[in-house]
Structure 1
Amino acid sequence: IPHELYEAADVEGAGPFRKWLHITIPLLKPTTLYLMVIYTIAGFQIFERVYIMTAGGPINATTTIVQLIYQTGFSDFNYGRASAEALILFAIIASFSFVQFRFLSTDVEY
């Protein structure tokens, strides 16, 4: 964030909260949007750590969506259903990403 914006806010008499609210937050929105989308996708696709530690856990308590797709495809050899589950997961992730882009994306000029 350019320091000149904070200096201009100081000249105008803005306090720390007003600078944070009107300068810092709007200029960090693109970075926040990027991180939220990336970590939402990563959260949906968690597989390795859970599979290595518990392999689904007692009575499938720690089974994730990706692990269910893996079991359907490679343990049950039901590739059609596994690909359908993967497509549903894609639709869920795409809808979450769309909502995040819809509410957080703004045109910011520096």
Structure 2
Amino acid sequence: VPKVEIRSLREDAINFVLRDTDTSVANALRRTMIGEVPTIAIDLVMMEVNTSALNDEFIAHRLGLVPLVSDAVDLMEYARDTEAEDDEWPAGVPFELHVKCNSDLPLEVTS
């Protein structure tokens, strides 16, 4: 019988330990949480200047993998729940990042 030990519970987060269960059940739970927790993802990236060794497309793809939490997510509709065409779709939520590395060392950018 699977066991769940809740370590901490808040309105916006839970920390728990899942024991005595098959890996497939744990993975199904993980996938459900990823798929059902509302987040915003970066879809369009515009680079002005990129002097890094990584190309623009690689950076844009990596940014798109980062789930962003925002109060605005509750005001948005899922694409699957609307009949709007792509050109009618809301513009989204603009995020801007202005960063410049002034040394030869890697610059760590966090939120």
More contact order relative to length (CA 8 Å, sep ≥ 6): 1
Work out whether the TM-score is over 0.5.
no
User: Normalised by the shorter chain, which TM-score bucket?
Assistant: under 0.3
Which has a greater percent of strand? 2
Q: TM-score, normalised by structure 1?
A: 0.22
Which has a greater percent of helix?
A: 1
TM-score w.r.t. the length of structure 2 is 0.22
